Chain A
Amino acid sequence: MTSTGYATARELVSRTVVDVRYPPNNYTFDLLWVLYDRILAVTPQTAEHPHRDRLLLSKGHGPGAYYAVLAAKGFIPVEWLDDIASAESALGGHPDATRVPGVEISSGSLGHGLPIGVGQALGLRAQGITRPRVYVLIGDAELDEGSNHEAIAYAGAVGLDRLTVVVADNGSATHGWPGGIASRFAANGWTTATAGITDHDALTAALRADTPGRPHVVVATTNPTED
C-alpha cells in the first residue's frame, strides 16, 4: 500500500545522487518511508521536542533516500536535494545533524549509531521520558563493527525496551552472518522480527512487534526467503 506522498517522495530520490557507488533508487527508501510515514512520532514541528521518537541513521552511506523522505515530510526544503554536497549545501555525502533539521546524529563512520542510541534510550529513561522510542538503522555489513556487539550485549542485558534496531539487510556483509542476523540479537535477549525491505505492511507489523522489558530488532531484508 502507498500513502499520500509516497510517489512524490520516491520521485525525489532521483534528485539525490550523492555517491556514485549507491544508486538513487536506494534500497532503504521504502524502509525509511514506512518509518517516517507510519511509525515515528516526529514531525518538523516536534523535531527538537524531548518527547519525539528518534531515528538514528547509523548507516550514513548513500543518504539520498533519507534526504528524500525528510524533504517529502517537510523537515527540509525540497530544493536542498538539487545540490547535495556542494560547498553551500547542508546535505553532505553523510548526514550532519548539526546542519540538517530532523537528522538526529552525524554519521558516516560505521558502528557509532547504536551505542549513541543506547545512550539516548538511557538518557530519556533517566529523565522519566517514557513514551518515545529510539530507532537505529544499521546495515548488515555495518554489523561487522565490534561496537555494535558491545551495544547489543549491553542493551539486552539491561532490557532496554525503548530501543529498536532496524537492520537493512541487503546481504552485503563480506563474511555473512551464518545462522542469521536476528540470532545475534536473540541470543542477547532481544525480541526479533523479519520483514521484506519493501513490504510496507510487513515492516509496519515487525516494527510494532516489540515487547516490554526487551529491546527489539527488525531485520529488513532484500531477500525475505533467506533469513
Chain B
Amino acid sequence: MRTHPMKTADGTTAMRDVFIAETGRLLDEEPRTALVLADISAGHGRFADAAVKHPDRVVNVGIREQLMVGVAGGLALTGMRPVVHTYAPFLIERAFEQVKLDLGHQGVSAVLVTVGASYDWAEGGYTHFSPRDVALLDTIPGWRVVVPGHPDEVAGPLRDAVLGDEPVYIRLSLRRNATPQPVTDRLTVLREGSRAAVVAVGPMLDNTLAAVEGLDVTVAYTANVRPFDVTGLRMLGHDTIVVVEPYLAGTSDRVLRTALADRPHRLLSLGVTTADLHAFGTPDDHDRWHGLDPAGIRAAVGDFLH
C-alpha cells in the first residue's frame, strides 16, 4: 500500500489523532466515559495507554461490530457514556440494525466516531467507502451529525458530545480544508454574493471556494449538518441554493427543501454518486470521478446558474 488508511501522508495531525487524544483526556476526566472498539485504532498509543489506565472502560471486542454496538447499548443502559469507533461502513452499515435497535429504540444513546468517510482510503476500494452513512442515520430519529472539515474542528464537538446525552455521529476524514472554521450550530457565512448561496459541508469547503472563485455567490460553511441550521439557511436570503456535501449527493435534499417549502426556490445538491466504480487511485481521483473536484463543482454550479 502506498498510503496508510488513517494517517496523513505528510505526517501532520489527522482528525483521528485529535479524536484519540481528546477521548483519552475524557476517559481520564469523566468516569462515565467508556470507549468501545472493534480492533480499529486499538493499537494507537494513546488508546493503548488508556486501556491500561482504565481497563474496565476501554473495551475492545475484537472484530465484532454487531457486538460493539450492542455492548455500547448495554453500557448506556447502566448509565455509562459510550464512545464507539471504527471504520464508517463497518459501524453504520454493517451494524445498522444495532445502531437502530440497541441505542435509540432502548431509550439510550452513544457517540459514534468513524474514520474512512466516503473514500479516504481510495486504495482500499469500495468495501471501505461509506458515502451513505449520513443518509442512513437520517432514517432514524434524533441523531446529531458532525462532519469536521479540519482537525481543529474535532475536539470541541467531541467533548460536547461525550459530556452530553444526545445521540451524536462524528464523521472523521483524512480530507481537510487548509484552515479551520469555528464550529457552531449556525451556518458560517464566508463571503456574500447575489446570484446564489453555496453551502459547503465539512471537507468540501476548499474545493467549493476554488470552484466558485470569481462567481457572484454567497458561500456558507457548516460542520454541523444535523440538525441543519435551517434558520440560517433562510436568513441567507437566497432562493437559489447549492449544497456541496462530502457524502451521498442529495443526502440533505429533503431537509433543505422542507426548510424552504414555503418559498419558491431552486436547489442543486452535489455530493458523491451511488456508482460502484470498482476503482482505486487517490481521494482526489474519486473527487474528480464524482464531480467534486473544483472543476466538477464549477461546471455543475455554472450550468445551474446558466
B-binding residues in A (CB < 8 A): 50, 97-98, 104-106, 109, 111-112, 114-127, 129, 146-147, 150-151, 153-154, 157
Contact = CB atoms under 8 A, between A and B. Distances in A.
B165 to A, nearest CB: 15
5 contacts: A112-B98, A118-B67, A122-B59, A123-B76, A150-B61
Interface stretch (B77-85, B201-209, B286-294): B77-85
A115 B84 CA distance: 14
A147 B74 CA distance: 14
B36 to A, nearest CB: 8
B72 interface: yes
Counting chain B CB atoms within 10 Å of each CB, the highest count among A98, A129, A154 belongs to: A154
A114 B74 CA distance: 9
A125 B74 CA distance: 12
Contacts of B80: 123, 126-127
Nearest to B97: A109
B186 interface: no
Given A126-B34, A147-B66, A150-B64, A118 B107 contact: no
B98 A120 contact: no
B55 to A, nearest CB: 9
A97 B106 CA distance: 7
Contact of B105 (A106, A114, A147): A106
Nearest to A117: B74
Interface of B: 34, 56-57, 59, 61-62, 64, 66-67, 69-80, 82, 97-98, 101-102, 105-107
A147 B66 CA distance: 6
Contact of A126 (B57, B61, B66, B69): B57
B66 A150 contact: yes
B250 to A, nearest CB: 29
A2 B76 CA distance: 37
Given A106-B105, A109-B97, A150-B61, A116 B77 contact: yes
Counting chain B CB atoms within 10 Å of each CB, the highest count among A116, A153, A154 belongs to: A116
B61 A116 contact: no
Contacts of B102: 112, 115-116
Given A112-B102, A150-B66, A98 B107 contact: yes
Nearest to B57: A126
Nearest to B80: A123
B78 A127 contact: yes
A126 B74 CA distance: 12
Contact of B79 (A116, A127, A157): A127
Contacts of B98: 112, 115, 147
Given A115-B70, A122-B34, A146-B66, 16 more contacts: A114-B70, A115-B67, A115-B71, A115-B73, A115-B98, A119-B72, A120-B75, A122-B71, A126-B75, A147-B70, A147-B98, A150-B61, A150-B64, A151-B64, A154-B61, A154-B67
Counting chain B CB atoms within 10 Å of each CB, the highest count among A106, A123, A146, A153 belongs to: A123
A68 B59 CA distance: 37
A5 B170 CA distance: 51
B74 A106 contact: no
A195 B102 CA distance: 30
